[in-house]
Amino acid sequence: MRRIISIAAAALMLTACGTEPAGSDETAYTEAAACDDELVGALSRWAEAGFSGSIAITGEEGFACEAGFGFADAENEVPNTEETVFAIGSVSKSFTAAAVLDLVDAGALALDDRAGDLVPGLGGPAAEATVEQLLLHTSGLSGSHGDDHVPLDRDAAIAALSELESSFGPGTGFGYSNSGYTLLALIIDELSGSGYREYMAAEIMRLPGSDGRIGGFWDGEPAPRGDKAVGLVDGAPAASLGDFAGPYWAMEGNGDLAMTASELAAWTAALFEGEVIAPEAVELLTGTVFDQGDGTSEIPGWVALDETAYGVPVYTVAGGGGDTGHNAVAVWLPETRRSLAITSNTSEITASELLDAIGPALAAGEPPPVPDTGVEVDPAELAAAEGAYALDSGSVFTVTAAEDRLEVAADGADAIDALFVPTGGFTAEDVERHEAAVAALLAGGTEAGREEREVLESELGPLGEITTVGTVVEEGELRTYVTIEADETTLAWYAVDEHGGVAAVLLDPGPPVFTLVPTGEGDYRQERLDGAGLGVRVSFDGELMTVAGPEGAVEADRSS
């Protein structure tokens, strides 16, 4: 769905709700399992800064912390609690993968089985993909078999999957595929003897010692117990409230589940402890690997990270976005056998962004950082830095003084590259894939791309060259900027969904703007609420502006 962003999209201020935590005069929250006072104090600061959601951390026995912050329903001032239900998006894939490995363990199928031998009527490249390739996103399948919350029945899903193209030979590369996981759901549906949803509810969505299931499906039955959080998308209540009538095969297996943060954390621990599927199946889960070569590896439904990100090895999975306005992350720390789940229902600070900020400290057993927006600075110093600074390439930084910071509009690829560092759980590889997906979309080689080009031509005139000029993270999503040659040259940005279609687009947005806050040492760093600064430092010396980042330093001149 082509979501057009309004430049004047309304912003909703969020306040945490519930009982007052120790050491805070302003922020309130709800708490079930007793959380460490220092942790609560830090999380309350994050709520003040915009986080709205729930968090759950398992301990040696039960939960070490369960708490909710912000509003599940801002309009009616209903607080988030440990019982609030969130759509978990692509975290659903970890459940699908567990179900497949459960069936492998039972002897119903093997990892090297071809999908075409398991699902009657399946054709095309999808039929040649093996179960293992589907689990690891190495099948080569590209494109989408359906749009979220658009009715798609089982037969139509099989027909659409049969029409998918292949972008590389099966097993020879990596390409994230929602469609591949819906195909796995069809395999579960075919081999389980009870149907996909029934098998998931009865065998996978459960905890040891519990008679009932956990969670449910965001749309349809069986539904999760508890009230669902209302997500915010572009400052307005989300279109998807969990009332889509189906049929659901566009999202089955790849993004269909919903539950509380507590249920997700407990399930994560139970999964890796061998209490959801057999210990032998867990060994198969962690031993089935596609190594990305950068400290990350794909395993079925999860990503394995070495100690670079959190100081210790972890398994993690994230999902969300789209028309629910929700985001969810789950983490398993094998060395300490603890799990963490965070859910959110706004884009101010998403669950993934909060994990980025506090995850390393929590993994190390240290107090989590709190939001930090810099130090006080003389307004005259800010005013003195204003102006347009040109790079040798012709790209320009336009610096404007704000109340206690500088705003820098980056016009041109070199300017954007100098200031941008991936955040919000995104990696450099994610950025590369997103830019490639945007380029492929606007090249018009797919149905979605052809439709988008038709829309652009109707608005801008005959299209010439379209050039990628950089990517940023805003409102929890990647946005790639492009210049479009038509009757006039137009700047635009695109966010693409996991199907390679348009998630959002804005024409004439103006260059992306980066915020710089003073460090107190005579220079500036990029704003990041946890104070990490993204590794980017900016200094001013007369007419010269220097930007130093992970990839080196660039200089721009105001006098030219």
Angstrom CA distances, 344 to 239, 443, 491, 516, 517, stand at 16, 35, 31, 26, 26
Computed over its alpha carbons, how large is the radius of gyration of the chain?
A: 24
The number of angstroms, rounded, from the C-alpha of 315 to the middle of its chain's C-alpha atoms is 15
129 within some domain: yes
Q: Report the alpha-carbon distance of residue 62 to residue 339 in Å, rounded.
A: 11
DSSP H or E stretch at residue 317: strand 314-321
Three-state DSSP class for residue 1: coil
- From the number of C-beta atoms within 10 Å of its C-beta (0-12, 13-18, 19+), residue 198 rates as middle
32 within some domain: no
Give me the residues paired with residue 470 across strands. Answer: 481
Q: Report the alpha-carbon distance of residue 353 to residue 350 in Å, rounded.
A: 5
pLDDT number for residue 521? 72
- What backbone phi and psi angles, to 5 degrees, belong to 452? -65, -40
* pLDDT tens readout for residues 380-407: 999 999 999 999 999 999 999 988 889 9
Three-state DSSP class for residue 293: coil
Total domains present in the chain: 1
* pLDDT tens readout for residues 122-172: 999 999 999 999 999 999 998 889 988 999 999 999 999 999 999 888 999
Q: Report the alpha-carbon distance of residue 531 to residue 529 in Å, rounded.
A: 5
Angstrom CA distances, 51 to 118, 343, 360, 397, stand at 44, 10, 18, 30
Q: Is the peptide bond before 247 cis (omega within 30 degrees of 0)?
A: yes
457 within some domain: no
Q: Report the alpha-carbon distance of residue 35 to residue 372 in Å, rounded.
A: 22
Angstrom CA distances, 392 to 397, 489, 557, stand at 12, 21, 9
217 within some domain: yes
- Domain CATH number, residue 325: 3.40.710.10
Q: Report the alpha-carbon distance of residue 280 to residue 288 in Å, rounded.
A: 12
pLDDT number for residue 533? 52
pLDDT number for residue 14? 22
Asked if 77 and 108 count as a contact pair (C-beta separation under 8 A), the reply is no
* pTM confidence score: 0.75
pLDDT number for residue 235? 79
Contacts of residue 211, defined as CB under 8 A and 6 or more positions apart, other chains included, come to none
133 within some domain: yes
The number of angstroms, rounded, from the C-alpha of 302 to the middle of its chain's C-alpha atoms is 13
Q: Output the six-digit token pair for 206.
A: 């459960």
539 within some domain: no
pLDDT number for residue 347? 86
pLDDT number for residue 477? 82
Cα dihedral sign, 287-289-293-295: negative
449 within some domain: no
Contacts of residue 361, defined as CB under 8 A and 6 or more positions apart, other chains included, come to 367, 368, 369
Angstrom CA distances, 126 to 142, 229, 261, stand at 10, 36, 34
pLDDT number for residue 30? 67
Angstrom CA distances, 536 to 164, 224, 309, 472, 531, stand at 42, 43, 18, 14, 12
Residue ranges with strand state E in 95-241: 141-142, 165-166, 216-217, 232-233, 236-237
What residues make up the domain containing 155? 87-363
Angstrom CA distances, 110 to 97, 106, 237, 509, stand at 13, 10, 44, 50
Which ranges of the chain have pLDDT less than 50?
Answer: 1-28
Asked if 277 and 102 count as a contact pair (C-beta separation under 8 A), the reply is yes
DSSP H or E stretch at residue 439: helix 428-443
118 within some domain: yes
Q: Output the six-digit token pair for 234.
A: 């572009």
Q: Which of 235, 211, 140, 232 lies closest to 179 in space, CA to CA?
A: 140
